């Protein structure tokens, strides 16, 4: 690897760099590898941490604190002890927490469908009766959020991220349009940039004047307790801030235990104002007679309390932190000083976000594929799958073994270096 920036290399040095990097990539290709870093899935090792939970609540243990039979129908909102256990994570008193099924994404989806068909508290009419509905989408962001909007014809406007959350000058300007009804927010360890919203960002989101009286923040706190370092990020309580600013119904808060216990069979949560919870429960009551309360009991028996949850999350951190370090070490070793790539060192969450020279993202994915490594498609982190610069890539190191993450990271770094050097070569040809 060179230490000089690609842009400063002589023509001959750039040629030499390209040749050397191509040779390094060929060496990986010759190994016939098959690796996958596409999605933020917990590894088998992580799932084992919750193995003990699967045997719970256990023989004849199916009675809640309120003496309900957890095996039977009923209790739409969820067991009081389960809501209490996650009240802190949700930032709401247990009375304003709802326990859903196994996927917070399903709760977000349903809330949007209900908003379209019925409107939310404060709506003049169902959202679908408006000429156009627009959502603000901090980007890069979570592709499945964007997919819900695309599914229902909600127009998405990307918003720049600053490192402390969305660019609030831009947001405050955009919400002056009454068509803007919603905004996606992953406020802590955001997917994929791992940034955490600053207090100022949260306050401005709570306070801003929106033209739509029924504007909603879709506050997806999916990584609320998913720390990778001792510096455990805290964010301001959005529900409290909104209430204090005179917008008590502005935020819908979501989270789940998908990346705490088991991803396919965890618990999803919704929390909001009294009016919003009442609204959600009225709709949910038409959908189901009640949630899976045995799973709720299982989670309470296993995690016990907030301290139990924190101790459990430390196990995940022990498994994940070395994988994240392997990624950032490999990027630094190969790309440090090239002046063509920037990346984050996440303090939590599930992703490493990398920004490359324009045009180099899709080329990197194609090169990695040749070497047997599957990456998230370039553009996936943007509304409509279109990254205007073709520069952002999301790396997801949780699932493969540490040994595989190490190899995959080296391949990624080589592919990125090659793609950026090719982009530099193309830039010079064009300028000549």
Give the residues lining the site for ligand PMP (CB under 6 A).
40, 103-105, 142, 186, 191, 220, 222, 256, 258-259, 268
Q: Which two tokens mark 21?
A: 């990097």
Q: Considering the complex, what minimum distance in angstroms separates the CB of residue 88 from ligand PMP?
A: 18
3-class secondary-structure state, position 187: coil
End-to-end CA, the chain: 26
Cα radius of gyration rounded to whole Å, the chain: 23
Q: How far is the CB of 268 from ligand PMP (least distance, A)?
A: 5
d(CA 278, CA 272): 9
Task: Provide, rounded to whole angstroms, the least separation between the CB of residue 351 and ligand PMP.
Answer: 8
Q: Nearest approach, Cβ of 142 to ligand PMP (angstroms)?
A: 4
Nearer to ligand PMP (CB atom), residue 119 or residue 349: 349
CB closer to ligand PMP, 171 vs 222 = 222
What is the C-alpha separation between 353 and 193, in angstroms, rounded? 5
In degrees and rounded to multiples of 5, residue 137 shows phi and psi of: -130, 95
Nearer to ligand PMP, 323 or 406 (CB): 323
Question: CA-CA distance, 110 to 41, in Å (whole number)?
Answer: 23
Contact present, 331 and 413 (Cβ < 8 Å): yes
Q: Nearer Cβ to ligand PMP, position 105 or 375? A: 105
Min separation Cβ 163 and ligand PMP, Å? 18
- Which residue in this structure is represented by tokens 């067991």? 79
Which residue, 354 or 419, has its beta carbon nearer to ligand PMP? 354
- Closest contact distance (angstroms) between CB of 346 and ligand PMP is 13
Comparing CB distances to ligand PMP, the nearer of 279 and 350 is 350
Alpha carbon of residue 356 to chain centroid: 20
Return the residue matching tokens 């932190």. Answer: 321
Please report which helix (H) or strand (E) contains residue 104, including its range. helix 104-118
């Amino acid at each position: 690897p060179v230490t000089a920036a690609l842009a400063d290399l002589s023509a001959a040095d750039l040629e030499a760099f390209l040749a050397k990097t191509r040779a390094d990539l060929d060496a990986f290709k010759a190994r016939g590898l098959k690796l996958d870093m596409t999605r933020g899935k917990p590894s088998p090792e992580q799932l084992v941490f919750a193995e003990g939970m699967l045997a719970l609540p256990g023989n004849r243990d199916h009675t809640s604190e309120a003496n309900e039979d957890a095996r039977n129908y009923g209790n739409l909102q969820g067991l009081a002890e389960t809501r209490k256990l996650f009240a802190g994570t949700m930032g709401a008193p247990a009375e304003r927490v709802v326990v859903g099924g196994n996927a917070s994404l399903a709760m977000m989806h349903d809330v949007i469908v209900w908003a379209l068909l019925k409107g939310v508290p404060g709506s003049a009419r169902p959202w679908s009766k408006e000429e156009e509905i627009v959502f603000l989408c901090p980007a890069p962001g979570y592709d499945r959020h964007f997919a819900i909007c695309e599914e229902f014809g909600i127009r998405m406007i990307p918003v720049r991220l600053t490192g402390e959350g969305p660019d609030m000058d831009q947001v405050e300007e955009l919400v002056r349009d009454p068509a803007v009804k919603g905004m996606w927010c992953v406020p802590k360890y955001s997917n994929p940039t791992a940034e955490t919203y600053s207090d100022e960002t949260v306050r401005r989101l709570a306070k801003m004047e929106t033209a739509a009286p029924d504007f909603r923040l879709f506050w997806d706190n999916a990584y609320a307790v998913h720390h990778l370092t001792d510096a455990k990020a805290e964010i301001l309580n959005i529900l409290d801030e909104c209430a204090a600013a005179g917008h008590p119904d502005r935020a819908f808060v979501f989270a789940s235990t998908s990346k705490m216990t088991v991803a396919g069979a965890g618990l999803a949560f919704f929390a909001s104002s009294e009016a919003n919870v009442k609204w959600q429960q009225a709709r949910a009551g038409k959908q189901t007679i009640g949630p899976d309360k045995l799973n709720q009991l299982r989670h309470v028996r296993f995690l016990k309390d907030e301290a139990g949850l924190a101790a459990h999350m430390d196990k995940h951190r022990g498994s994940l932190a070395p994988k994240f370090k392997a990624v950032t070490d490999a990027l630094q070793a190969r790309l440090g000083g090239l002046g063509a790539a920037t990346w984050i060192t996440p303090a939590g969450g599930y992703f490493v976000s990398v920004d490359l020279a324009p045009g180099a993202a899709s080329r990197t994915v194609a090169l990695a594929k040749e070497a047997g490594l599957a990456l998230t498609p370039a553009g996936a982190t943007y509304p409509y799958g279109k990254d205007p610069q073709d520069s952002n890539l999301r790396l997801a190191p949780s699932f493969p073994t540490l040994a595989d993450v190490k190899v995959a990271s080296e391949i990624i770094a080589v592919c990125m270096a090659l793609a950026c050097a090719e982009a530099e070569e193309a830039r010079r040809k064009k300028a000549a």
